[in-house]
Structure 1
Amino acid sequence: MPEFTASERVVGRNSEYVVGERLGEGGFGLAFVATAADGRRVVLKQLRVARMGDWKAMELFEREARVLASLAHPNIPRCHEFFATDGARAVDPADIAQLGGDASLVLVQDHVDGASLAARIAAGERMTAAQAEALLRELLGVLDYLHGLHPPVVHRDIKPANIVVTPAGEPMLIDFGAIQERLRRDSEVGSTTVGTFGFFPMEQVLGKARPASDLYALAMTMVVALTHRQPDELPIDPETSKVVVRSACPGLPERLARALDGMLEPAVGRRLASARDVLVVLAGDALQRRENSLPVPAARSLPPAVYKAPLYTGGAAALLLYGFFFDAFSETDLVALSFVWLPLVLFGLGARLNDSIAGGLRWAVLGTLLLGVFILGVFPAL
């Protein structure tokens, strides 16, 4: 079917919609403001099958659209329905084959009233550090929700244009279209860069986006909103290629500067790994470095001479008996002479391993008892 036009009536499975102005184009299709039958304003995203290239791409988008339809968070526009239509009737997307090749997938979401951060920046509106921190905390809550799903949902295109602030001051994260771009990349050659240049980190360029990639984009968005400077205009450390947050945004509270700094690490392994980690930093707590959490061996208190003297003495006695005087004693004598050296060796080993004289005595006594049992009970039968 052709793209929607103003005043056109679109019949869904749950409601009817009167199409209004066109919002824009991206990914596989178009977005329109519309009015539902109950009077609420919604956004219709029309995804034309003919523009998807192949059925595999459509299958992948449908799978991801169902994930989006399952999202439930107050700072994400609610999805009302997802259907396929040929203009005359609407069916479940799984039954789109019934409609023929010129059908569309339609995703219906809440329309968010308010202005995007991009529009506010363009209008010259400035945020205070306190306002920026409050906004950051709310958006970290959204990312904590998305990244905590199974599997995690990574937005991949966080930027000022995709954060709308409502008249009540609530931020809304919109436009999950980069997810469909990732899926399209899986079925097409090329198109490896997903997101908006300047707001995504290096691993995303390589097609390896992960939850920490959204943290980088969110921090860059906040710095741009605070400075009204685009990413390529921000001061960069020439040695690390990292945005110098304190130079770009002088006067920030230290906890906010540390949080943004940790989110903007170019190397994903050094970056704050989760939204909760960032909230810990914003609370004024320092994250424990991973290597510091490994157990540290306790310092030894037993002097080395305590275990080395008997260990070496017993070892030397065994070497003399069995190396130099082996032929001077009978087999029975050699076994009995084990009482000369074995307790010393066992005491040294026990003291070394347990770091105590008591540990050495336990090993020596136990070894002596076992040797006695062997000599009295086992050796005569051999």
Structure 2
Amino acid sequence: MPIPHTYRVIGKIGAGNSGEIYKAYQINLGKYVVLKKIKTEIKDFLNNRAEVDVLKNLRHSCLPQVLDFFEADGDVYTVMDFIPGNSFKDYLDSGTVFEEKSVIIWAKQIAATLGYLHSQKPPIIHSDLKPGNIMLTPEGNICLIDFNISATLDGDTAWVTGYTNGYAAPEQIEALHYNQNELDHSLWKTIDARADIYSLGATLYHIMTGRKPKPDENGNVSDIRLTGIKINDIFAHIIMKCLEPDPNRRYQSAEELLNDLKNIQTKDKRYKDLCAKQHMAYVLVAGLMIGSAALTISGYFKRDVGKQKNYESYVRQEAQCISSGDYQNFETYYEKATDLIPDRLDAYYQKALALNKQQQYGDSIDFINKVILSNDAILKSGSSLNDIYYLLGNSYERMENYENAAECYKKAIDIKPDNSAYYRDYAIAMAYTGNMEEAEKALETARENGLDSIDIDYVEGEISYNNGDYSGAKDIFADCIQKTDDDYLRMRAYIMECKCIDGQDDGVSGSDEKIQILEKARKELPKEYNIGILEQLAQTYSDLGNDTSDMSYYQEAAKVFEQIQSQGMGTYDTDYNLSVLYQNMQQYDQEETVLNQMLEKYGDNYKTYKALAYLEVAKQSQADNEGRDYTKFQEYYLKAKELYQSQPDNNANDMEMDNLQDLYEQAVANGWLSAS
């Protein structure tokens, strides 16, 4: 039988080691879900309904709820909650640098979740833990996805049907190689909970260093303390113990690992004692030096007046370039300013702001942390860092990393406690982390500091939204839009009003209402504040086109993407989405133009050549069999394949490439191409 009519499949969103993954809309429940088609070799073991019920009965805040299982056309599907947010892989790919404090919190959440899975009867082994399978939710918590159903099928161990290089334990890799050559499934090798502990260690290693661990020929990973990052010695020891190639030398349970994570501060006391002693010695020495420093300090702060004026002129030019979107000339003024006075904050702040305005939030975060906050000369210059921390918090907030955002806003408040806007955004970030008490407290302080009443209303709307009161929050945001003259606040209110609609109704009627709101915002807001509006509008039009098959929605989405391009805010994804829309509308000439322009702007990318290959298939399908010429298709396919295979870790599980190979083989079989 086919997939039940209660599920409307939106499209494939990936593939894990245990099956293909689709996003779908569950009509009866009125919400998005994930359908996971289970691999054949795993499906063969699914003969006990009690084992299925083990997964359905899972209840944990860091796991998606398993809603159902069903069979369709000979395949077995599991239905789970759709988890909003971004994976740690998304953040790592964008260059995000995580603070150790946050990573330790997430490590404890993951260890606790693994402990819950491993404690089930029978135990559940995740078996594919990696950054791509750990979501960071809008509330700032983790959620483990894509755990392995086969793990419930053999007592305390799990069948091995796949692994991911860089994260899989040595025994998991060995087991898979053995199992691939063993036809008798009863003889297959298995793994236990300690394989998950290794994968968690590898994941933490990647999150802390920005790169996957690379075991040597003996399976040993280079000590994380040798990578040059700043890391707590006890936390480093915990990560390296997880990465022991011999499972008997690792933590033997997630509970044991969690206990060590919880006691990092206690175990690290001797380091704190040493730091306290060093601080006391520093105070004594500093006291002796005050007298001599007073005699010479004026010499260190004399500046040439002309030099200062030139510097300030360059910084003003930077600001003007940001306002006009002229980021090419911005770089010229940035280099002139920093060459002239390399230890002054102003020019660096403008650079971080420029990255933020271009929506390169990960790059802005990286620049602030590595170039500004790690520069002793800037830190010692006496410049106030409140604006830097506020900008850093905003970049984290845009990436929905609300915990780090709140921490940065708090630092800005500590430096300048009379800025009510800092309290406003701190309150919003705390609301998204789920700490409503702290959010209300910050809002009250903002009131005391004279925060505008409309700003206060906006924050109350954010708090209502995070409490699930979508209708009440929507009314508040609509009222803010009517009352405020602040374009930035209006932009945020428009976006939040649409998020409230998503919470109430994610169907076609909700999309129609969102379009009315976003089109109004598109007309009213100035260019520097409309990019987020345009992106949401284009996505909403595109979604309606997919839901209704009405080409006019695709046409409207294309117009919006073209506007984004014309404003100089286009990215690779903007152009790629535009090319997809043109193909949906069968406007092949426009699609080909966009794709060729992408090759010129962004260079070789397998996705671009993949799209060109699919374009050729569409064009040739319109011709008679005798008149078809697949020469260009072959050229584009082979180039896409070459680029795709050259980066297997980055391009894993792209099913469209598999489909492209099938089309190529069909063309050869039909005599339209000769095999190469």
TM-score category (smaller protein): 0.5 to 0.7
Are 1:45 and 2:70 an aligned pair?
no
* 1:131 equivalent in alignment to 2:102: yes
Given the alignment, which residue of 19, 42, 67 partners 2:9?
A: 19
| Deviation, structure 1 residue 65 | 3.9
Deviation at 1:25, TM superposition (A): 3.6
- Paired-residue identity, %: 28
CA contact (8 A) 2:126 2:151 kept: no
Is 1:222 matched with 2:204? yes
Which residue pairs with 1:176 in the alignment? Answer: 147
Match of 2:55 in 1: 68
Q: Contact 1:114–1:166 at 8 Å: present in 2 too?
A: yes
Distance 1:267 1:69 in 2: 33
Distance 2:259 2:15 in 1: 38
- Quote the residue 2:238 is aligned against: 259
**Secondary structure at 1:81 match in 2:** strand
Q: 1:30 to 1:264 in 2, by over 3 A?
A: closer
Matches within 5 A, 1:86-165: 102-165=73-136
What's the CA shift string for 1:299-346, capped at 9, x where partnerless?
xxxxxxxxxxxxxxxxxxxxxxxxxxxxxxxxxxxxxxxxxxxxxxxx
CA contact (8 A) 2:34 2:80 kept: yes
Label 1:105 to 1:246 Cα distance change in 2 as closer, same or farther (>3 A). same
1:250 aligns with 2:208: no
CA contact (8 A) 1:84 1:106 kept: yes
Match of 2:485 in 1: none
Alignment of 1:223-242 (within 5 A): 223-232=205-214, 241-242=220-221
Gaps of 5+ in 1: 5-9, 86-101, 287-382
**Structure 2 CA distance for partners of 1:54 and 1:40, relative to 1, 3 Å:** closer
| Matched residue type, 2:172 | Q
Alpha-carbon displacement from aligned partner over 1:199-237 (angstroms, at most 9, x marks no partner):
1222223334211211110010011112111223xxx67
RMSD of aligned residue pairs (Cα, Å):
3.1
Q: Which residue of 1 aligns with 2:508?
A: none
CA contact (8 A) 1:82 1:106 kept: yes
Alignment of 1:193-232 (within 5 A): 194-205=162-173, 206=175, 207-232=189-214
- Determine if contact 1:157/1:178 at 8 Å carries over to the other structure: no
Task: Please give the TM-score of this superposition, normalised by the length of structure 2.
Answer: 0.34
Q: What does the per-residue CA deviation read over 1:8-30, in whole Å, with 9 as the maximum and x for residues that have no partner?
A: xx33xxxx222212213455753
Do the aligned residues in 2 keep the contact of 1:226 with 1:249 (CA within 8 Å)? no
Query: Which ranges of structure 2 fall in alignment gaps of 5 or more residues?
Result: 176-188, 268-676
- Kindly indicate whether the alpha-carbon contact (under 8 Å) linking 2:166 and 2:213 is maintained by their aligned counterparts in 1: yes
In the alignment, the residues of structure 2 paired with residue 239 and residue 113 of structure 1 have an alpha-carbon distance, to the nearest angstrom, of: 39
Q: Kindly state the Cα deviation for residue 178 of structure 1 after the two structures are TM-superposed.
A: 6.7
* C-alpha distance in structure 2 between counterparts of 1:27 and 1:213, whole Å: 15
Instruction: Please give the alpha-carbon distance, in whole angstroms, between the structure 2 residues aligned to 1:274 and 1:210.
Output: 10
Q: What are the Cα deviations for residues 174-200 of structure 1, in whole angstroms up to 9, with x where unaligned? A: 0024737988xx9xxxx9663212212
Aligned CA distance change for structure 1 residues 25 and 55 (closer, same or farther; 3 Å): closer
Change over 3 Å in CA distance of 1:262–1:249 after alignment to 2: farther
Is the Cα contact below 8 Å between 1:243 and 1:264 reproduced in 2? Answer: no
Larger Rg: 1
1:59 and 2:47 aligned:
yes
Name the SS for the 1:22 alignment partner. strand
Measured in 2, the distance between the counterparts of 1:253 and 1:54 equals: 41
Q: Indicate the structure with greater helix content.
A: 2
- Whole-Å separation in 1 of the counterparts to 2:40 and 2:217: 42
TM-score by length of 1: 0.57
**Greater relative contact order (CA < 8 Å, ≥ 6 in sequence):** 1
Deviations 1:17-69 (A, max 9, x none): 2221221345575322112223211112234xxx7379844537x66544322
SS of the residue corresponding to residue 269 of structure 1 reads helix
Larger deviation, residues 24-33 vs 214-223: 24-33
